[in-house]
A and B are shown apart, each in its own frame.
Chain A
Amino acid sequence: MKFLRDILDKVKPNFEKDGKLHFLHSTFDAIETFMFVPNHTTKRGAHIRDGIDLKRTMFIVIIALVPCLLFGMWNVGALHYAAQNIDSTLLENMLYGAMKVVPIIVVSYLTGLGIEFAFCQVNGHPVNEGFLVSGMLIPLIVPADIPLWMVIVATAFAVIIGKEVFGGTGMNILNPALTARVFLYIAYPVEMAGEIWVSGIKEGLVDAASGATALGVLGGKDLEAASNYSVNVMDAFMGFIPGSIGETSVLMCLIGAAILIVTGIGSWRIMLATVIGALGMGLILNAVGGNPYYDLPAYQHLLIGGFAFGAVFMATDPVSAAHTTTGKWIYGILIGVLTVLIRVFNPAYPEGIMFAILFMNVMAPLVDNYVVKANIKRRLNRVKA
């Protein structure tokens, strides 16, 4: 390690104020602090500080995403071969999946980090760790066959419009990864809708019908198909179904949720509240009844589509979620309710969770505002009492 430190110390002057490479100082700083926790000491206030920092926090979220990622890769391959009636081994599935997924991840990180570094450079900020997570989330919520140029455009849009224009990580209103997803959905509706969910359809390798998702069928125009449709609960839970790369397996999302909750990085309140909201709304619709989507057992809303992934990884983004404890409950419950509402009442948008979360991202400051007002009111009431 001494050897690495020596190299860094040797090149460091080039990046300092009057160095030749000063225009890359944010980049150097990011790399240096990644490898070595700086030798700074506290200057004022508390002389000692907790061991946790933002790098570790973000890294734990990435760890939590790994099960979804690995399963997603396997599933891309498995569905691809299954649709062609080809027997495939675990390794083959993984290989095919990796071939599809790794380029998306690389492109997402290169685009996002490139833009982040550039912004930090210009603004003279240190590079924030936020994109480490966004850069992993984006590949997990797109279909495996997405053209790479779309990933670039969407990521660039998300980072610039979703985050940097507000001042970078910590200041953004919308979740950047979801911003990218919704951008794709709205900008390229043809490519992002319909039966695209199994890799290989475009090349004609796979029959389009095999790419149907539960959301697509239930929300589709063909009522007969919808009423005859039943969700294969086990497959939906395990994730052996078509969908975006990382979101199909509820089980993997639960493993991720466990990691986030045990380490205290993700808010269990938001996750639980989202589930309560969706279940509650589902039960209300069950009680009303009338069409196949109304009658879909409430718990199955939790299993299909991107619900689990959204509730665990997207809704809990601390920056764009509600900040207050009470606010988190309200925010989560409303996400759950809205997800089901959008799914059932708005067939034009089969996936409700991303809109529900983005909508609540926008509403979160308002929710917080009321929670803060309640606190203020308690304080003022004390005087009267």
Chain B
Amino acid sequence: MSKVIKIKKGKDIQLVGVAQKTTSARTVSSSFAIKPTDFKNLVPKMVVKAGEEVKAGDVLFHDKTNPDVKFTAPVSGEVAEVVRGERRAIQEVRILADSDIKYKSFEVPSALNAENVKALLLDSGLWAFMVQRPFGSIADPSVAPKAIHVSCFDSAPLGVDYNYTLANEGDAFAKGLEALKALTEGTVHLNVHEKANNASLFTHASGVQINSFSGSHPSGLVGVQIHHIDPINKGDVVWTINPQHVVFIGRLLQTGKLNLSQQVAVAGSDVKNPQYIETIVGVNVEAITTDNVTNDNARYISGNVLTGSNVGSKGYLGYFDHMMSIIPEGNEYEFMGWLFPSYPRPTISNSLPISKFLKKSFVVNTNPHGEERAFVMTGEYEKVLPMDVMPVQLLKSILAQDLEAMENLGIYEVIEEDLALCEFVCTSKIDVQKILSDGLDLMAEEG
């Protein structure tokens, strides 16, 4: 391993309720859903109708603008309902699962090359896990990427430990990497943390470039890693994929079946017994949290507390997520709370000395601890963004809808999650990720 890339800026937010390294094999849930809203700018076109029977791997819907990109059932069963929202946009495709999963079988090519791997991934629906930079949308299969990056550690609060969850997936992971190598003529980067990623499946991977990082969150974000290894310039396209999803690809190549079972961390201060649960992509939240949540007034976040989505206790786990963060809602008044905080809360500000220097984990809630204001403080975002990008100036260029400035200031290098910590630390409580998301949409549309 060559030199370690040190990430000096950022902050690890220590929260109560880290998932213990135990896995309970919960009975398979009966309800699963794939949510088109999990994918950026996707307009889905249904292929199946409610009431039809599907096998795991059968196509549910495809991308309207690019019909090759298909989305398949994670389990076998009956398509129970297609939930639509405003203007009949499809929100969820729900499946009532069989107790024994029947798999569609895919033909696995004996020698891997870019074309046959691409075709297999598109047919099986695994392509949807491949995320493209810029913009963070599903990768365009017709474009050749400069590189493929896999971030092998999750530095976000309560993050998943891939050393643990993928400990027994070494063969599948290696097989998946084979597929990635076949997909690109560029480099496949495996980005590991110098301390956290000691499992042999990461350290002994072959034929890929292993980049070692140190430092706190957001060092685990693939966008930050790309910026330090080989930054994205105008016109570059880079693909990123999560190690769990590399394992899915590996399993498909090994068995010809779409096996989307994974370990999901159920974590947070409102979880009685925070640990990992063996389940499948798109699982119903109720199934993995019943009898394990101590608070009626809790927020159920699919993903981590900085970037996840509020799915509610009856919702479904997001397509890309392998963790549920369950924390108390903060819908309570706090008397003079801005002056005398009544409980410790995570902060980067020295003006809250008790919270700042307390060496313990926090019980955190969803109260923003203040109202939204115009930009006032400066130099805050820069403390938690280890990239040579000027976050405030970029956000202001987005607010001004100045496309040229957005491009010049590096909008191609970031997606929402990269600026999530900026949003966390913001004194003025500005919705940074929302602004960036609007900017990315505008750029994708116009650019």
| Chain A residues proximal to chain B, CB less than 8 Å | 1, 4-5, 33, 35-57, 59-60, 126, 128-130, 167-171, 262-265, 267, 318-319, 321, 323-325, 328, 368, 372, 375-376, 378-380, 382-383
Contacts and interface: CB of A to CB of B under 8 A. Distances in A.
Interface stretch (B108-116, B176-184, B302-310): B302-310
B337 A37 contact: yes
Given A37-B367, A48-B327, A382-B233, A57 B376 contact: yes
A224 to B, nearest CB: 47
Contacts of A43: 431
Given A57-B377, A171-B374, A379 B410 contact: yes
B420 A45 contact: yes
Contacts of B336: 35-37
A56 B352 CA distance: 9
Nearest to B15: A48
B376 A169 contact: yes
A50 B424 contact: yes
Nearest to A59: B339
A321 B378 contact: yes
B409 A54 contact: no
Which of B332, B345, B376 has the largest number of chain A CB atoms within 10 A? B376
A40 B234 contact: no
A319 B373 CA distance: 13
B327 A263 contact: no
Interface of B: 13, 157, 231, 233-234, 299, 301, 305-308, 310, 325, 327, 329-339, 341, 345-352, 355, 364-371, 373-379, 382, 388-390, 392-393, 408-410, 416, 420-421, 423-429, 431-434
A57 to B, nearest CB: 6
A1 B369 contact: no
B384 to A, nearest CB: 10
Contacts of B352: 51-52, 56
A323 B408 CA distance: 18
* Residue among B231, B329, B335, B410 facing the most chain A CB atoms (10 A cut-off): B335
Contacts of B421: 46
Contact of B382 (A126, A167, A325, A383): A325
Contacts of A47: 299, 301, 305-306, 308, 310, 325, 327, 366
Contacts of B389: 375
Contacts of A325: 379, 382
B424 A49 contact: yes
Contacts of B369: 37, 49-53
A379 B379 CA distance: 20
A319 B327 CA distance: 35
A36 B348 CA distance: 23
Contacts of A167: 374
7 contacts: A37-B338, A39-B330, A45-B431, A47-B308, A129-B373, A130-B376, A264-B349
A128 B373 contact: yes
Contacts of A49: 367-370, 423-424, 426, 429
A136 to B, nearest CB: 16
> Which of B305, B335, B368, B377 has the most chain A CB atoms closer than 10 A to its own CB?
B368
A43 B307 CA distance: 12
A51 B346 contact: yes
B374 A169 contact: yes
Contact of B305 (A35, A46, A168, A263): A46
A36 B408 contact: no
B233 A45 contact: no
B274 to A, nearest CB: 17
Given A48-B346, A52-B427, A128-B373, A39 B338 contact: no
- A-B pairs, top 8 by smallest CB distance, nearest first, are A53-B370, A170-B374, A37-B337, A45-B433, A263-B351, A51-B345, A55-B338, A52-B349
Contacts of A368: 393
B365 A48 contact: yes
Contact of A264 (B231, B351, B432): B351
A40 B349 contact: no
A263 B350 contact: yes
Nearest to A4: B335
Contacts of B393: 323-324, 368, 372
A381 B194 CA distance: 30
B329 A41 contact: yes
A42 B376 contact: no
Nearest to B231: A382
A5 B389 CA distance: 44
Contacts of A379: 233, 388, 408-410
Nearest to B310: A47
Which residue among B325, B355, B373 has the maximum number of chain A CB atoms within 10 Å of its CB?
B373
B333 A375 contact: no
Contacts of B341: 51
B334 A60 contact: no
A221 to B, nearest CB: 42
Nearest to B344: A51
A355 B313 CA distance: 59
Contacts of A372: 390, 393, 409
Nearest to A45: B433
B338 A56 contact: yes
Contacts of A33: 371
A47 B433 CA distance: 11
Contacts of B428: 54, 170
Given A129-B373, A267-B378, A375-B388, 9 more contacts: A38-B333, A42-B366, A42-B368, A48-B305, A50-B369, A50-B424, A53-B429, A56-B370, A171-B374
Nearest to A317: B376
A258 B305 CA distance: 34
Contacts of B349: 50-52, 263-264
A171 B325 CA distance: 37
B390 A383 contact: no
Contact of A324 (B305, B334, B390): B390
A60 B432 contact: no
B339 A383 contact: no
Contacts of A5: 333, 335
Nearest to A265: B351
A376 to B, nearest CB: 4
A319 B345 CA distance: 27
A137 B305 CA distance: 40
Contacts of A38: 333, 371
